[in-house]
Structure 1
């Protein structure tokens, strides 16, 4: 689809969501979820307790007739849903932990996984904090396109609304991703996977009893949820598998970092830590980095030189391309068999 066609599709979604929002007196996000569920259900409008009215149902169905997702590429579907979520975040003042990973960061994480994994077969991938599935589907679409290998994905989240959007994302993109509504710190009913990608939530995990079996749990008080989810991710990686995590740049500057690093050294190889450009963040406290970990296994090894650096400004395409080539050189020197 051209950019204008994508915009037209988004506009139709926005118009129908707004009509439904007004009719149901709901949040934009809830109206969006119900609206797209109607579209997926062949344009059948869900009516409960007489709402929406027959007049609104007719108005919606007339507009639904112009919406056809069957010929839309997965990436265009993802873009349309992303635009809708940006509108929802603005309209409903959704908290920052629920906001989506920017595409530029998603593409960098995809590139990194593509380069370090050297896929030659079907692969499995987990996101333990899947949210709307924007990051997970970005990575799967990129890896399937570049490697021509099929993916099977798993996404975990305990937020009903975010998982509802993820379900829409997965259904419309026709991707083989299984979603689980649960706390990712609890035991997961999934197989070991080839790789993990996640934009981790940041802060304290309130349920101390759930962390008793975690080596990264705090000695006193609540534990950092991002520490726990990285440990959980490594536990569900196949030996030698890679995890790429979006983390606070201050991760290794906290009092708990010594214990966290000791855990990494026991169970994984810290292969890379790349800072993201300052321009992506409004405050220094909000700055993020990309952490590359590899689960220890019979054939894994610590890189002779950890991949360190800072991505150049995304506006400076020559420098960005140069940095990508440096990553290729690093992989050839440190990870190639």
Structure 2
């Protein structure tokens, strides 16, 4: 009979789901496995390491003690010279401390978090105001703005990169660190604002206007109605838009490689990982561990968004 599911059909359905999920998770499992393996175990095709190695994670997170190389006898004689100043002695000793291959992962992650989260927050604020205007207000050119808001995505970032960088150079922003960061910050906002307006505008239309009218009849202003009615009911979409904007900034490489190339201390994680991959310190367990740690904030963002994605918030809010 139609609509009845047999045992074979259910088993086939769940088997297909299992195979699809396994296929999607296999690359991440391989990355995690390699990050936990010692060098002698890299050729092992098994996903389970013979001996678990946490060294790469400890190094990246700054939990590993600094290694000191033994100073040669000839250099020690130089250090014993009483005529040598203390500053020069410390400079010589510093050369024998093996910190040249330390990858400052924490600093690069902090850079990515600040830039991505800051741009996503500003985008969300502007998107709320713009999307509410498009969804609720009536003004000349409203339909044109509503339909053309996504036209910015018809032009690829590669085509915009050179003109944007030339503009930054001409006005003097690209010549200093804070100017370059400001340019990158604005580019991320411009990249994410159109789709944020589109998503929030469509969601605001699903919220009955009668709820706002009831709030304004109780003495609230339109601004209060937005803050106390619209935004609480829009938490699922607000969380979704924030995560979407954050991930775009978190994974962006093209513009960051242009505007931050000369300011290594402000590298974002995509730039830093590429720099690590081509450096003399390109060790596979370290690269894979850095990749896994790079995924962590994205997973946290999704978990945060899922807590607020409670559909049906306005069900029963207005009687038919």
Same fold by TM-score greater than 0.5: no
Larger Rg: 2
TM-score, normalised relative to structure 2: 0.20
TM-score, normalised relative to structure 1: 0.20
Larger strand percent: 1
Bigger relative CO (Cα 8 Å, ≥ 6 apart): 2
